[in-house]
Structure 1
Amino acid sequence: MKNRLPKIVLLILVLLGNYSLMGQQKNAHIVLGEIKDGSTQTTIPYATISVVNAATKQILSGTISNDAGTFSIKTTATDFYVEISFMGFKTKTIKDIDVKQSRINLGTVILEEDSEQLAAVEVRAEVSKTQFKLDRKVFNVGKDIASTGVSALEVLNNVPSVNVNIEGEVSLRGSGGVQILIDGKPSVLADDSSNALGTITADMIESIEVITNPSAKYDAEGTAGLLNIILKKEEKRGLNGSISLNTGTPDNHSVGVSLNRRTEKFNLFTQLGGGYRSMPRDNENSNLNKENDSKVESYGTNYRNESFFNFILGTDYHIDDYNVLTLSGNVAYEWEDQPSRTNYRSFDNDVLNSEWYRVENTQALNPKWQYEFNYKKEFKNNKEHTLLFSALGRFFGKDTDSDFNNATTFGTNDQDQLQETNTDFQQSDYTFKLDYTNPITDEYTIEAGSQYVINDVGNDYEVRDYNGTEFVADPELTNNFEYNQKVLAVYGTGAFEGNNWGLKLGLRVENTDLKTLLTNNNQENNQTYTDFFPSLHTSYKVTDDFSVQAGYSKRIYRPRLWDLNPFFSIRDNFNIRAGNPNLLPEYTNSFEVTGIYKIGKATMNSSVYHRYTTDVMERIAIFDDNVTTTTPFNIGTKNTTGVEVNGKYSPIKWLTFNGDFNWNYFSREGEYNAQNFDFDGDSWSSRVTSKIGFPEDIDLEITGNYRSSYKTVQGETSGFAFADIGLRKKILKGKAVINLAVRDLFASRISETIIDNDTTYQYSFGQRGRFFTLGFSYGFGKGEAMTYSGKRR
C-alpha cells in the first residue's frame, strides 16, 4: 500500500493538470486581422502585434504580421487589449474587444505615418560610408539609405564614381559597359537587358564594391569596370514587384512586369515584357575621285522596326547558411522589319549625270535564350572564404531575308538591278567558371580559379542577282562562314592588406584556339596562342578621406565575329563594310595612378594613366571606282597618356553634380601596303550632369556632353556636343513614378568622318536624331517603381 500511494498521488496531479489545461484551452481566444498603410492602402508585413494585460500593462504574448500583412495570435487572458506598431508609424491601440468571442477578428487595422518618429530616425540613422580597399572601393549602405525603400539603382546613384541617369543606364567614371555582379556572380537580375534591379530594395543591400581596374581574377578582356552588389543574409524580405508602361517617339513602346520574392530558403525572381520600337538613322556619304573628278553622293534613312518579347525566371535556393544554388533562364524573341531607301547622285566634273535610288525591304526573326547555374559555398571560419562555380549558356539566332530594288530617276546608267539576300545566323556561347577565395589571415588572402569559354558561330550568307528571268546566286558574295573560339584560363592572386597599405599580385594565363572557315572555298584561318596577363595593385590610405591607388594590368582585345566575317554588306553598294578573317588580337599594357579623396560634400577621383597597345585594329577605307570598302587590319602600335578626373558634389540636399573629364595624347606608329601611318594627336571628352530635387517629389536631370575631334589613321573624326534632359515625378510615396526624357535635345549628336588625300576625298555622316520617352511604373510590396530605360535590349 505504501508503494502504491506515490503513484496514486501522481495520477491525481496529472488528471488535475489536464483538467486545468482543458479549461484554459476552452477559454482561449484567437485574435486575427490585417494591417495596412493608411496613405497608400498597401499591406504592412513584419509589424509587431502585442497582447497587453489591461490591469498590469504587461505584455502577455506577441507576434509579427506575415508577408501579406495578416496575423493570428492566441491568448487565454480575459482582460487585455492589443497594440500594433511598426517603425515610422504611430502605434495603434485597440481596447474595445469582445472577450466573449473565442475568435476575435479585428478586420483591417490602419496605421498612420508618424512624421516626428521618421525625423528622429533620420537624425539617428547610421550614415552610409565608403571604404578604400586595396583594389576597390566599398560603399557600405547605412540606415540613411536602407530605410528609404528605394531600389538598387537609386543606391548605385549614391556611390562615388557611379552615375545612374534618369533612364536607368549605369556608368562608371563616365564610361558605359559596366559589368554588374550580385554576391560576386553574374545574375539576370543585374543584366542590362532588364530593369530587374528595380526589384532589389536598399534594405536588402549590405554594400557595393567598385572595381575600376580589375585584377587577374577577372577576364583579360575587361569592361569599363565592375560593380558587385552584396546582399544581406536575412531570412525574409517578402514580395517586391513593379509594373511599367512606356511610350516614345520615334516609336518606343513597351510593357513589363517584374517580381522578386524572398523567403527563408528561396529568392524567386521573374520578369515578363514586350513591346515595339523603331530606330531610324539618317546617313550621308560622298566619294570623290580627284584623279578624274568623278563623284558619287548618297543620302537616305535606314529604319529598324522591332517587335520583341522577353521572359525571365530564376531562383536562389539557400540550402543552409553556407550553401546557395542559383538557376535562371531567359527567353526572348524579336521580329525585325527594315524598310530603307538610299538616294544616289553621280557627277562628272561637278555636272550631274544620273540619279537613282535603292530600296531595301528586310525581314528578320531573332530567337534568343540564356540559362545560368551557380553554386556558392561559404566556409564556416570566414564568410569571405568562398568557392563559386558557375555555368552560363547563351544562344542567338537570326534568319534574315532582304530584297533590294534599284531604279533610275534621271539620266542613264547601269545601276538598275534587283537583288536578294538570305542570312541564316546562329551563335552559341558557353562559359564555365570556378573561383576560390581564402582569407588565410586578416591581412593575407589568396585567390585561384579557372574559366573555359566556347564561342560557336555559323553564318550562311547568300546574294542572288536577277538575270531577267530568275534570281541566281552570286558565287563571289555567297558563302558559309564558320567561327569557333575556345579560351581556357587559369589564374592566381595573392594579397596583403594592412591598416593603411596593401599589395596585390596576380597572374592569369589564357590559351586561345580560334578557327574560321569559309566552307564553299575551304578557306581556313586557324590561330592558337597562349598569353600571360600579370596584374599588380597597391594602395596607401593617407587619411580616412584620402587614399592613393596604383595598378598595372595587361589586357587583350580579341577580334569580334563581325571583325573577322569577310561578307560584304550590300545595303549601300558604294559604301561597303567587310571583315578580315586574318585579323589578330590587340594587346594593351595599362598603368594607372589614382587619388581618391573626399572634401566636404564632394568626392573626387583623379587619375594619370599610360597605355601601350600593339597590333592595333584599325578600319582602313580602300577606294576603287567610287566605291569605298572599309575593312579592319592590324596596324602598328599606339601610345596613349592621359588624365582623367571625375567627381560628385552635393552642395545642398536637393542638388547634385556629377562630372567627368578625360584628356589624352596619343602617338601612332605603323604602315600598311607600304603606306606610312605614323601620326600623333590628342582628344578630350567631358560630361556634366546636374540633378535637381524640387518639392512634391519632382526630380530634374540635365546632362551635357562634349567629345572633341581627333585624328584617325586616314583622316579625322569631328567633335560634337549634345544634351539629354529628364523629368521624374514620384507619386504614392514613391510607389509610382512618371518619367519624361528627351535624348539628344538639340539633335546634335552626330558621327562624321573625313578622309582627304592626294587621290580621294571621302565624307561620311550619320545621325540618330532626337528621342522622346514617357514612362509610368508602379511598385508594390517592398519594391520601388522601376526606372524606365529606353535603350536597346
Structure 2
Amino acid sequence: MKFFWTLLLLIYFSSLSQAQNTPVTQFIIKGKIVDEQKQPVPFGNIALYQTSDSTLTTGAVSEEDGTFSISTKPGSYYIKITVLSYRERVIKNVQVSTQDVQLGVLTLKASAEMLEEVVVKGQKSQMEMQLDKRVFNIGQDLANIGGNAAEILDNVPSVAVDVEGNVSLRGSQNVRILIDGKPSGLAGISSPDALRQLQGNMIERVEVITNPSSRYDAEGEVGIINIVLKKNVNQGVNGSFTANVGYPDNYGGSFDVSYRKNKINLFSSYGFNYRSAPGYGSSFQQFNDVTDSGIDTTFSYSETNKRTRGGTSHNFRVGMDYYLNDKNILTGSFLYRRSDGRNSSRFEYSDFDGTGQLIRTVYRSEQEKEPEDNIELALSYRKEFAQKGRSLTADFKWIETNELELASYIQEEPDATIFQRASNTEDERNALFQVDYIHPIGEKGKWEAGLKSTNRLLNNDFLVEELAGENSWVGQEGFDNYLTYTENIHAAYLMAGNQFRKFSLQAGVRGEFSDIIVERPELDEKNIRRYFNLFPSAHLSYEINKSKSVQLSYSYRLSRPGFRELLPFSGISDARSIMVGNPRLNPEYTHSLEGGYLLNFENGSLLSSAYYRYRTGVIQRISIVDSIGFRRMFPVNLATQNAYGLEFNASYTIQNWWRLNGNINFYRAITSGSFEGQSLYSDAYTWTTRATSKMTFFKRLDFQAGINYRAPQDIPQGRELSSYSIDLGLSTDVLKGRGTLTLNVRDLLNTRKRRLIIEEEGQYSNSVSQGRVRQTLLTFTYRLNQQKDSKSRERDSEDDSENGG
C-alpha cells in the first residue's frame, strides 16, 4: 500500500511539472463597436467573463476606430461592453477552441434614460458617517466645485480655516492634516498657505477622524483630517477635465486621466490656477494708564488696511500601479507643485492723543513675491496573502520644498519716508518610511503592527533691512538671524481587536521617540528636545441592531509646536502688530475620551457624539504692548484646559430629489494659566453649525444652499464675536451627461468676517478682518468614459488612505 501511494504521488508531481512546462495556447477575440450612426465608439470597456462562474478573466479598451482585441486561452466566455451614455451590451456564448474568434461589428444603442438613472442611483452621499470617522465626498457639495483645499476644508462641518490659512477642528488648531494618509507639502507642513495652492478638483474626498487609534501618528490633539486625492483604476482610458472662471479674479483648469490595461494602471493629474483675492480690515487701539484716581487715555489710533493675495500655482502628479499578480501591487508616483505668489497690502494709521485729537497719519505699503517649489516622490508596495484579511504594506516618501519670500515696504510719515525690505528663505526636506502588517485572528479578529521613521530638516534665513542712505541698506536689530530645525521621529505600534457577538473591542499602544533640535548658529544657541512617550488607545463598540450602534473610545495624543511657532521672527507688514515665535516651546499632551451613537434609518442617518479633552502645556498667544502702543504677540506653554463638547451630524433624504445634511457642535473650554503674574483664565462657550439643502429638478438640474454660523466665544485676553455666511450652487449636466456646468457663490452676503475684542487692564482693541470676500465661480467639467461617481476609484482611494495610517 505504501508503494501504491508513493507511485501515485510521483505520477501526480510528474504530470504537474509537465503541465507547468507546457505553454498554454492563446487565441484572439476581435471585434468593433459602433453607434447607431455607424460611427466608431472609442475607449469603450470590453470585459471577458468565464461562463461557468462569471469570473472576470481579462479585458480591453476599444481603439479610436472602435476596434478591440482580447488575448485569452481556450474556454467558454461571455463579453460585457460598457460605455458611458450607451446601453450595456452582453455577447453570450463566446467559444474559444482552436482558432481566433471574430465577433464582427457590434452596435451600441444610446440611452439617455439609463444615464440619468445611473447618475441618480449611483450618486454617493455628500456626507457618509461611520463611528470612527466622517467622510465628505467633495464632488457632491456644489459649493466646493472650483475651490481650493483651504476653501473646501472651511466647508467641512466642525472645521474652520482662518485668514492666515490655519485649520482648526472643533475649535482647536492642533489637528493633523494628511494627504492620502501621509504627511505632504501639499498640506502645508511648514506653510499654512500651501492649502490655498491645491486645486479642489484634484480632491476625491475628506475624512475626519476625531479619535484615531494607535495605528496613526500621535500628533494632533483633536484628531486627523485626511485629504484623499483622485486616482482612477477603471479599465481603459478614463478621466475628467475642468475649467473655471470667477470674480474676483479666479481662473484655472485641471485634468485627471488614467489608463488601465492588464497589469498596469497609469494615472496623472494637473491643475493650474490664477487668483487675485482682495481682503480688508480695520481696528481701533486704545492704551490707558491705570492710577488711583482712575483710568486716563494716553494714546490711541485707528487702522485700516487693504490686502490682495494671489498669484499662479501649478500642481502636476503622475504615477503607476503595477499589478505583479492579484496579490501584489507596486505603486510609484511623482508630484510637483510650483506657486508664484503675489501679495500686496496698504495700511493707514491715524494717531490720536489722550483727548482724541488727531496727531498724525502714517501710511505703510507692502509688495511681496513668494515663489515656492515642492517635489514629492512616493513608492509603496502592498501584498495580500492567501489568508483573507492578511496583508503587508511598505511605503517610502521623499518631500523637498523651497520657498522664498521677498518683500519691500514704504512707510510714509509726516516728516519722513522709510524704505525697508525683507527676505525669508525656507528650505525643507522630509523623508518617511513605514511598514505595516495585519494578521487575522479567527473569523472577525486581527492583530497588526507597524514601524515608522520620519526625518525633517528645515533651514530658515530671515533678514529685514532699512535704507539708510543712497543704496545703503542696514540690517535691523532683532530681525536678522538664521535658524535650523531638525526633527527625527521614530515610532512603532501594536494593536489587536476582535468581535464578541455584538461587542467589538480594539486596543493598542504606540511608542514614539522624538529627537528635535532648534539651532541659531549666529547666537551659538541650541535648543534640544528629546523625549519618548507611549500613546495607548482603545475603542469599544456595541451593535444594538443592524441600524443602531454605540461606541466609546480613548486616546492619548500630543501636539508638537509648529515650525512657525518656533521661529523667533515674523513678517512686518503691520509694523504695529507683530507676531513672533518661541524656540523654547514644548509639546502639548491630550487625554481624549469620546462616545458616539450612530443611527441608520431608511432615509438617512444620525451620528451623535460627546467628547472630553484634558490638555496640559497648552500653547497660548500672549499680547504685550510697549510704551508707544506697538503690540507684540508670541506663544508660550502656560495653561491647562478642560474641553467638553456635543456634536450632531445628520443626513436625511426627504425625496429622491431632495437631500439635507446638517452639523451642530456645542463646545466649552476652560483654560487656566498665568503669565508674569497676570491671570489668563477663560471659560469659553460657543457653538457652530452648518446646514445644506440639495435639490434636483428635472433630473438634471441641482440646486444647493448652505449656511455656516459660528457663535461668539471668549478667548484669553478677549472675545471673538459671531460670524455667518451663505453659499449657493447650481449645477446641470450637458453634452448627454458627459459634461457638467456649475455656478456657485461663496459668502453670498459678504459676511464672513472675523471680529475680535481685546479688553484688559491698560489696553482696549476692537478689530474686524475679512481675508476672503464674496466669490462667484463658473466651472465646466467634462468626463471621458467616466460617470459622476466611480465605484472602483472610490474603493481604490479607500485602500490608499488605510495603507497610509
Q: What range is the shorter-chain TM-score in?
A: 0.7 to 0.9
Within-5 A mapping of 1:627-776:
627-767=630-770, 768-776=772-780
Q: Taking structure 1 as reference, are residues 681 and 316 closer, same or farther at Cα in structure 2, changes over 3 Å only?
A: same
Q: Give distance in 1, aligned partners of 2:481 and 2:69.
A: 71
Of the three residues 380, 384, 400, the one matched with 1:395 is 400
Alpha carbons 1:198, 1:783 under 8 Å: kept:
no
Alpha-carbon distance in 2 for matches of 1:230, 1:307: 21
- The CA distance in 2 between the partners of 1:658 and 1:253, in whole Å, is 30
Confirm or deny that 1:574 pairs with 2:570.
no
Which residue, 46, 61, 64 being the options, matches 1:66? 61
Q: How far apart are 1:346 and its partner, in Å? A: 0.8
Inter-partner Cα distance in structure 1 for 2:610 and 2:312:
45
- The more displaced of 285-294 and 685-694 is 285-294
Q: Post-superposition shift, 1:564?
A: 0.6
Q: Distance in 1 between matches of 2:211 and 2:352?
A: 52
1:355-434 maps to which residues of 2 (within 5 A)? 355-382=361-388, 384-408=389-413, 412=414, 416-434=417-435
Q: Counterparts of 1:679 and 1:724 in 2: how far apart (Å)?
A: 33
**Local SS of the residue matching 2:212:** coil
Residue 665 of structure 1 and its aligned partner are, at CA, apart by 2.2
- What letter matches 1:33 in structure 2? K
Structure 1 pair 743/363, CA: closer, same or farther in 2 (3 Å)? Answer: same
Q: Which amino acid aligns with 1:404?
A: Y
| 1:466 matches 2:467 | yes
> Shift of residue 275 of structure 1?
2.7
TM-score (norm 1): 0.80
Shift of 1:279: 2.5
Q: Provide the C-alpha distance between the structure 2 equivalents of 1:381 and 1:172, rounded to a whole number of angstroms.
A: 38
2:304 paired with 1:305: no
Task: Tell me if the contact between 1:778 and 1:785 (Cα under 8 Å) persists in the aligned partners.
Answer: no
Q: d(CA) in 2 for partners of 1:703 and 1:83?
A: 45
The separation in 2 between residues aligned to 1:498 and 1:39, in whole angstroms, is 60
Aligned partners of 1:418 and 1:466 also within 8 Å: yes
Of the three residues 319, 340, 352, the one matched with 2:358 is 352
2:572 partner SS: coil
More displaced, 660-669 or 712-721?
660-669
Q: Could you say what secondary structure the match of 1:563 adopts? A: helix
CA deviation profile, 1:632-679 (whole Å, cap 9, x unmatched): 111210101111111100010111111111112221211111111223
SS at match of 2:748: coil
| CA deviation map 1:330-352 (0-9, x unaligned) | 11211122222111111112111
Inter-CA distance 468–621: structure 2 relative to 1 (3 Å threshold): same
The equivalent residue for 2:559 is 557
Instruction: State the distance in 1 between where 2:264 and 2:422 align.
Output: 49
CA distance in 2 between counterparts of 1:181 and 1:398 reads: 20
Checking the alignment, whether the CA contact within 8 Å between 1:515 and 1:525 is kept in structure 2 is: yes
CA distance in 2, matches of 1:232, 1:400: 33
Task: Provide the C-alpha distance between the structure 2 equivalents of 1:632 and 1:39, rounded to a whole number of angstroms.
Answer: 71
Alignment-derived partner of residue 267 in structure 1? 265
Matches of 1:328 and 1:138, distance apart in 2: 27
Q: Which residue of 2 aligns with 1:283?
A: 281
TM-score in terms of structure 2 length: 0.79
Q: Deviations over 1:81-115 (max 9, x none)?
A: x999769728699xxxxxxxx99996784423285
Report the counterpart of residue 3 of structure 1 in structure 2: none
Residue 448 of structure 1 is matched in structure 2 by 449
SS in structure 1 of the partner of residue 761 of structure 2 = coil
Task: Supply the distance in 2 between the matched residues of 1:426 and 1:119 (Cα, whole angstroms).
Answer: 51
TM-aligned CA deviation for residue 117 of structure 1: 11
Contact 1:451 1:490 in 2 (8 A): yes
Distance in 2, matches of 1:132 and 1:338, equals 39
Aligned CA distance change for structure 1 residues 180 and 739 (closer, same or farther; 3 Å): farther
Shift of 1:132: 9.8
Q: Residues 190 and 709 of structure 1: is their aligned pair in 2 closer, same or farther, counting only changes over 3 Å?
A: closer
Task: Measure, in 1, the Cα distance between the counterparts of 2:108 and 2:738.
Answer: 18
Amino acid at match of 1:560: G
- Aligned-pair CA distance for 1:772: 1.2
CA distance in 1, matches of 2:79, 2:678: 86
Q: Is the 8 A contact 1:540 1:549 kept in 2?
A: yes
Q: Deviations over 1:94-150 (max 9, x none)?
A: xxxxxxxx9999678442328589979999x9999x9998x64799xxxxxxxxxxx
Contact 1:446 1:495 in 2 (8 A): yes
Instruction: From the superposition, tell whether residues 307 and 785 of structure 1 become closer, same or farther in structure 2 (CA, over 3 Å).
Output: farther
CA gap of 1:513–1:413, structure 2 versus 1, over 3 A, is: farther
SS at match of 1:562: helix
Deviation at 1:502, TM superposition (A): 1.0
The answer to whether the Cα contact below 8 Å between 2:648 and 2:663 also exists between their aligned partners in 1 is yes
Aligned residues: 700
Q: Which amino acid aligns with 1:372?
A: A
Shift in alpha-carbon separation, 1:224–1:656, aligned structure 2, 3 A = farther
In the TM superposition, what whole-angstrom CA distance separates every residue of 1:417-461 from its partner, at most 9, and x where no partner exists? 111112222112222111111112213211111211222111111
* Cα displacement (A) at 1:64: 7.5
The answer for the alignment partner of 2:238 in structure 1 is 240
Pairwise CA RMSD = 4.0
- 1:494-573 equivalences under 5 Å are 494-573=496-575
User: Which residue matches 2:34?
Assistant: 35
Say whether 1:175 aligns with 2:159.
yes
Letter matched to residue 318 of structure 1:
Y
Q: CA deviation at 1:548?
A: 0.4
**Residues 210/587 of structure 1: CA separation in 2 closer, same or farther (3 Å cut):** closer
Could you say which residue in structure 1 is the equivalent of 2:6? none
Residue 175 of structure 1 aligns to which amino acid in structure 2? V
Deviations 1:463-506 (A, max 9, x none): 11111231111232101111111111111111112331111111
AA partner of residue 320 (structure 2): T
Tell me by how many angstroms 1:175 deviates: 3.2
Look up the SS of the partner of 2:564 in the other structure: helix
Q: Give the superposition deviation at 1:309.
A: 2.0
- What's the offset of the Cα at 1:763? 2.5
Q: What amino acid is aligned across from residue 309 of structure 1 in structure 2? A: H
1:736: Cα distance to partner? 0.7
- CA displacement at 1:585 relative to structure 2: 1.1
Q: Secondary structure at the match of 1:279?
A: strand
Q: CA 1:459–1:37 in structure 2 vs 1: closer, same or farther (change >3 Å)?
A: farther
Q: Which residue of 1 aligns with 2:256?
A: 258
CA–CA distance in structure 2, aligned partners of residues 419 and 132 of structure 1: 52
Letter of the 1:691 counterpart: K
Compared CA separation, residues 40 and 744, structure 1 to 2 (3 A): farther
Q: Which amino acid aligns with 2:734?
A: I
Rounded to whole Å, the distance in 1 between the matches of 2:229 and 2:579 is: 44
Paired with 1:405 and 1:351, the residues of 2 have a C-alpha distance of 26
Shift of 1:283: 2.0
One-letter code of the match for 1:351? Q
What does residue 53 of structure 1 align with? none
SS at match of 1:670: strand
Could you tell me how far 1:179 is from its partner in structure 2? Answer: 6.2
Unmatched segments (≥5 aa) in structure 2: 1-27, 50-56, 72-77, 92-99, 161-166, 168-175, 189-194, 290-296, 791-805
Letter in 2 for 1:748: T
Structure 1 residues 228 and 575: CA distance shift in structure 2, 3 A? closer
CA, structure 1 residues 337+226, in 2 after alignment: closer, same or farther (shift >3 Å)? closer
In structure 1, the partner of 2:44 is 45
Q: Equivalents in 2 of 1:335, 1:232: separation in Å? A: 27
Change (3 A) 1:39 1:437: farther
Instruction: Work out the CA distance in 1 between the residues paired with 2:59 and 2:495.
Output: 47
Contact 1:456-1:484 at 8 Å conserved across structures: yes
